[in-house]
Chain A
């Protein structure tokens, strides 16, 4: 494929120039010109009022030999990397098994999990959550996360068993070592995906992710290399179905002579007074610039306390240092989907909305009736949060008989 400009139709309106996320369209001799930075994302196609930009099929420059195609066919199965902390499998692994199961069923293939540094009992749990097969390496050297050892073991397993798709959580661990695996295997990796589907025609994996600060979504393909690898944003995919009677194969893998150039000397937990485990919270009270300072956040904390919830924040509030980064919700913070999200003094930039819009009920409290946060609100209150929130706290206290 290639994107071309029909010079006869182009009337030099320049609409396309600013539409290009890659700076790939410029004006040359009074006509639009597509330069080498074009990523063929097709954003410009619909923009042109004259219909002068078209996609043309050219003999695929990346088309590989039949021999290469054949080789790609050797890769089969869907794999997920199951993360553990203190030898316990983390929630994102269950989510990966959920989406992995769906993809595997659609491809009519198997779903396997790779578990490093945990015990067989945890491997059995992965089967109950949907895995057909678990590759388990119990080597104590893998209990703590080190990029060298994890990269070594996972790369070796992939080379040996040739899965077609490999998924991992877009967590500090996954986002750190999975890129090394992809680089070593000379294959593509898509970061922080929020949706994964199989292309009906080609059976390729369609990987959707936010880019440009969450302002746009992009669908990414890895057509000519295997495996197709992606990290998946936590709390976006539905967990697999837990079935206590499910059976599967647990394959023990030996790792001999693992060495690492990095060493974890200590793991320090840092949790503030009100639990910041936003991922797990059923109720979140979040504040933005309108909260005005640390004092304002005290009000939010009181409300969160009577609700039994956690406190979240927009990037603006974190940037002002009113509250630590671990509370940040949004594109560069955490993605959450609680039952109830109360947004206080948050205007609702896209970057924030992408992180909380799937909450079941959203309450927005803001002075500005035009604030974009109201567009996603189940209940919107235009008013002064310093008046509304104490009132709300008091009423909920009463309602709950506290």
Chain B
């Protein structure tokens, strides 16, 4: 069974701060990481490969040339091959154009299972997985929290829902987007780190995936960013004083009066 894992290199959004003067992002010194949910996707792919004892795991990313380091990190975890989709024509892609590009590459590479993280922590759209499945004309299951059984032409998984989960069976090939409850991603091994240095990264651009320029990058994107701005919060900030007991007394009285209790 051949598995492709789509990964994305993202800024660690937990480290991003807003410049209070200019209301813009301060990205300086913010490290680039593999999108956390994608690590769960890599881990699951490796586990399936190892339990079935055949097939290979290929990691795929679309991004600027420096995204190569994310691919090498995935190799050091144990992935077999890596493909970098990089082309000036891909730049500025929204989810439609990104999914289209990924799907063209996946078609060329061939896979029985495609894994994606449920969403990337910079964009938070959760759209690229399902859209990619649509372009590949294969089924998908989103928010997978457990893979119960993998067979040659079917797979059974648990899909996270608002108040619990569904047990879903799908035909194979299939695309799965995964949540972090799925597993605990392994750390790179020493052997893996050696392999990561040596492995040749396959590169693909517009010509290799045989796509039309009008369907790629900003040109192929139906959506546009009009502007960005800092989120606004109400600022009430009313600090209570006195001993802890006095503060609690006052709070309970206020809450009663405002009919919160």
Binding site for B on A (CB under 8 A): 15, 18-23, 35-44, 46-47, 61-62, 85, 144-145, 147-148, 151, 171-173, 175-177, 179-180, 182-184, 186-192, 206, 210-225, 260-271, 277, 283, 307, 325, 331-332, 339-340, 350-351, 353-354, 357, 360-363, 369, 374-384, 387-388, 391-392, 395-396, 399-400
Contact = CB atoms under 8 A, between A and B. Distances in A.
A37 B92 contact: yes
Contacts, number: 303
B247 A381 contact: yes
Given A191-B126, A270-B163, A219 B18 contact: no
B12 to A, nearest CB: 9
B252 A268 contact: no
A221 B224 CA distance: 5
Contact of B96 (A39, A183, A351): A183
Interface residues of B, number: 94
19 contacts: A40-B225, A42-B228, A46-B22, A147-B130, A147-B140, A172-B142, A172-B160, A179-B129, A179-B134, A190-B223, A212-B25, A217-B229, A222-B223, A265-B167, A340-B260, A361-B258, A380-B239, A381-B244, A388-B244
Given A379-B251, A391-B244, A357 B233 contact: yes
Nearest to A389: B248
A222 B222 contact: yes
B255 to A, nearest CB: 7
Contact of A396 (B17, B96, B226, B252): B252
Given A183-B131, A188-B221, A18 B28 contact: yes
A262 B169 contact: yes
A183 B135 contact: yes
Contacts of A187: 96, 222
A340 B37 CA distance: 33
Given A216-B228, A223-B224, A361-B260, A43 B164 contact: no
A215 B25 contact: yes
Nearest to B242: A381
B233 A375 contact: yes
A279 to B, nearest CB: 8
Nearest to B259: A339
B189 interface: no
A343 B141 CA distance: 35
B124 A210 contact: yes
Given A41-B227, A191-B126, A265-B168, A179 B131 contact: yes
A262 B226 contact: no
Contacts of A189: 95-96, 127, 223
Contact of A376 (B134, B222, B235): B235
A16 to B, nearest CB: 9
B26 interface: yes
